[in-house]
Structure 1
Amino acid sequence: MSVKSKSILVTGGAGFIGSHLVDRIVADDPARVTVVDNFFLGEASNLRHALATDADVEVIRLDAADLPAMQDIVERRGVDTIFDLAVIPLPTSLVYPAWTVQTNVAIALTVSELTRRGLVERLLHVSTSEAYGSARYIPMDEDHPHDAITPYAASKSAADRIIESYVQTFGIDVTVVRPFNNIGPRQNPGSYAGIVPIVVKRVMSGQPIEIFGDGEQTRDLIFVRDTADLMVEIHDAPECRGEVLNVASGVETSVNELVRRLLKTMGAPDHPVVHTAPRPGDVRRHLADATKLRKVIGRDIPTLSDDALAETVDWYRGVLA
């Protein structure tokens, strides 16, 4: 089930991870690629590379939770596989919790139902490590309990359960992947930005870096293009059908250490850093057990390199200048 010569639909395909995945799929010569995005966080500029190729790429502004509209698109474009990345993100759930939960659950229901109806052959649903909550044990394997802390995490955990119910009841062909913390170009630098664009923006503007809590909370960091590569490999591997897989490096990094690396990369190692009150719902430790993924794809997972971090910083310097 290679993406080559297939019709692929990517929900959330104008977003951070989604747009890198679209670039990766286009490189494998698919029959066509359809991007569905409501552009809440996605940017048309993220798809510039994919649209500049000779590939048949169509971009549709739509809420992926809209089942009738999604069915029309799937039938018109003859979609074989859906990569489901559409999501309302964690920071939004702290401001608009009800909308976040309703939308994320509805998206999972929509893609599950399209698969149940036999309109697509295969679904790769992108969940999140946030569904696990703070680690009960380290490293966190795919059987780690779901201890969702935020409304976002609860909505993604619920989405996983909905998809699992469709697998058990209707036998649909689904793989669920749980990415840990992605770093790279194209992550939203605005109101719902991640830590890297926030650090870059504050250094450029001469403001101190604010770290929630003591900064010793940890994350498992992976470069976004490595995640895109892994998602395509997972899709193409028959052994991954019906599986749940962590997508992560298996290396634990504290927020303090990431900020130090970023400041060193920017040539500002002595830039002021202040610690503020802990953020509501912030998980304490995240470290993936990537054993299952390594076994399936037969290779090691790259860690976040200094070159990848430098490329990321350079990209943000360009867009924030």
Structure 2
Amino acid sequence: MSVTSKSVLVTGGAGFIGSHLVDRLIADNPRRITVVDNFFLGSESNLAQAKAARPDIDVIRLDASDLAAMQDVVTTNEIDTIFDLAVIPLPTSLTYPAWTVQTNVGIATTFSEIIRRGLAERLIHVSSSEAYGSARYTPMDEEHPHDAITPYAASKSAADHIIESYVQTFGIDATVIRPFNNIGPRQNPGSYAGIVPIVIRKVLAGEPIEIFGDGEQTRDFIFVRDTADLIVQIHDAPAARGEVLNLATGHATSINELVGRLLEALGAPNHPVVHLAERPGDVRRHLADVSKLQKLMPHTTPALTDEALEEIVDWYRGIFQ
């Protein structure tokens, strides 16, 4: 089951989580690594470390929802395993909902069909905890109802169901992974930035931090390199075939707490913070049940450490200053 000696495809591989996954895969020395990204959010700079380690990486600018194009990539590069991280993100769905839904559903259908046709062996599809919506109960297990709030969340839920239908109907070898909230170096700092780069940029610019709502909404934050490592472990675990798995730490952190810890890491504990109206589609509470993941593999993911936050702050200082 190891990726060693396999030809692997990483869609969205120039993005935040995708580029860290490429770095992690290199450690296992796959025979060939192919990256597909439309560069809507991805960046060539995210792959600089990977290209230095593996100059033979093939990076292709394509839309991962295009079945004909992806079939050509898979056959030409003799792909064994597909790690599917390509996605149109949540904030985009608030402005371009139809495009977001059509693309995200199309991506899942494309790779399910490629596996069904026998053109590749295994599909690891990276979904999102947003498919669950706000928690009806915590911790949220894989059977938690899908109460999608945004078009993005609905598209990820639909994509999961499409893949699960191919598993049940056609017996394809696929695993759906639902990561909770990833943070770390390379997270997009631009128009669709997450809270961590926004906070760091605001502090460095001397501007007040803006928090939507009261800040008591909680998330299960996980460091991105832990996510990349777990994705590879899940690929290598025979028992994970056909499963749906939460990928998280099992620890809840409020936005207020995260901002406070970031301010400490920045050396600015008294930096001004203002609260705005709640953001449309913002889930109130997320906390993962990771017991299923822990039964399948020995690795236990730690809660977000101060050392990880300090590393993240140092990385963003380097690009913002």
- Residue 56 of structure 2 is matched in structure 1 by 56
Q: Distance in 1 between matches of 2:185 and 2:276?
A: 27
Deviations 1:216-237 (Å, cap 9, x if unpaired)?
0000010000000000000000
Shift of 1:165: 1.1
Letter in 1 for 2:297: I
- Residue 165 of structure 1 is matched in structure 2 by 165
Q: Distance in 2 between matches of 1:19 and 1:236?
A: 19
In the alignment, structure 1 segments of 5+ residues that lack a partner are: none
- Residue 251 of structure 1 is matched in structure 2 by 251
- Residue 80 of structure 2 is matched in structure 1 by 80
Letter in 2 for 1:29: N
Shift of 1:54: 3.7
Letter in 2 for 1:168: Q
* Conservation of the 8 A alpha-carbon contact between 1:294 and 1:301: no
* Conservation of the 8 A alpha-carbon contact between 1:30 and 1:55: no
**Paired residues for 1:151-300 under 5 Å:** 151-300=151-300
- Residue 124 of structure 2 is matched in structure 1 by 124
Shift of 1:208: 0.3
* Conservation of the 8 A alpha-carbon contact between 2:26 and 2:54: no
Output the TM-score relative to the length of structure 2.
0.99
Q: Distance in 2 between matches of 1:264 and 1:101?
A: 39
SS in 2 for 1:8: strand
Bigger shift: residues 47-56 or 154-163: 47-56
Q: Distance in 1 between matches of 2:22 and 2:258?
A: 27
Shift of 1:169: 1.1
SS in 1 for 2:249: coil
Q: Distance in 2 between matches of 1:257 and 1:268?
A: 14
Letter in 2 for 1:228: A
Deviations 1:294-316 (Å, cap 9, x if unpaired)?
11112321211111111111111
Count of residues in Structure 1 that have an aligned counterpart in Structure 2: 321
Q: CA 1:89–1:54 in 2, change beyond 3 Å: closer, same or farther?
A: closer
- Residue 69 of structure 1 is matched in structure 2 by 69
Letter in 1 for 2:136: R
Q: Distance in 2 between matches of 1:81 and 1:299?
A: 22
Deviations 1:194-241 (Å, cap 9, x if unpaired)?
000000010011110000000000000100000000000000000111
* Conservation of the 8 A alpha-carbon contact between 2:7 and 2:31: yes
Q: Distance in 2 between matches of 1:204 and 1:53?
A: 32
SS in 1 for 2:315: helix
Q: Distance in 1 between matches of 2:54 and 2:233?
A: 23
* Structural RMSD (CA): 0.7
In the alignment, structure 2 segments of 5+ residues that lack a partner are: none
Deviations 1:230-256 (Å, cap 9, x if unpaired)?
000000000111110000000000000
Q: Distance in 2 between matches of 1:255 and 1:53?
A: 36
* Conservation of the 8 A alpha-carbon contact between 1:29 and 1:55: no
Output the TM-score relative to the length of structure 1.
0.99
Shift of 1:55: 5.8
- Residue 16 of structure 1 is matched in structure 2 by 16
Shift of 1:56: 3.1
Letter in 2 for 1:192: Y
Would you identify which runs of 4 or more consecutive aligned residues in structure 1 move more than 3 Å?
A: none
Q: Distance in 2 between matches of 1:114 and 1:104?
A: 16
Letter in 2 for 1:287: L
Q: Distance in 2 between matches of 1:128 and 1:54?
A: 29
Shift of 1:185: 0.2
State the percentage of identical aligned residues.
Answer: 75
* Conservation of the 8 A alpha-carbon contact between 1:32 and 1:55: no
Letter in 2 for 1:213: G
SS in 1 for 2:293: helix
Deviations 1:111-137 (Å, cap 9, x if unpaired)?
111101000000000010000000000
* Conservation of the 8 A alpha-carbon contact between 2:246 and 2:293: yes
SS in 1 for 2:288: coil
Q: CA 1:49–1:208 in 2, change beyond 3 Å: closer, same or farther?
A: same
Q: Distance in 1 between matches of 2:252 and 2:165?
A: 32
Q: Distance in 2 between matches of 1:320 and 1:223?
A: 21
